[in-house]
Amino acid sequence: MKNLLKSLLILFLLTFIACSEDSNPTSSEATLTGTWKLTAIIVHTTSGDMTLLPDVIGHSMTVVLNEDGTYQATYTDPEGQHTETGTWTKADGKLTITINGVSETVEYTLSGNKLTINTTMEIEGFGVQNVTLEFTKQ
């Protein structure tokens, strides 16, 4: 499960990689600022969708997008709490996250207090799967 949470953290931050247009171009940077908590991981398989609740599988992730363009992501797994930091920007309907000098762009949907990211990830024992990460603004 440790690998799943690390993958989710990387996905939240790096999933901002799949160069795509903002599906809600009227959103402003201010609506993305704040604290986002991972509330669901939906794994899309050929036999149907499987929803994983982070708290139930013993993990948590919170990402804070600050107005000054910095972010902090904190995740907890059975080995303890871990923190990542970097920067973020939003321009022309795209969100860019920079981690250790590497910038990536993300496809996302923002609706009210829900942030949804669609991507693929490797899940131990299942291989590469299509997933939807759902975050709720705190």
Q: pLDDT grade, residue 10 (50/70/90)?
A: low
pLDDT at position 93, please?
Answer: 63
Report pLDDT digits (tens) over 64-105. Answer: 999 999 999 999 988 899 999 999 988 776 678 898 899 877
Q: Which residue has the higher pLDDT, 13 or 119?
A: 119
Q: How many structural domains is the chain composed of?
A: 1
CATH value at residue 80: 2.40.128.280
Task: Quote the domain boundaries for residue 119.
Answer: 2-137
Angle at 28 between CA 70 and CA 89, to 5 degrees: 30
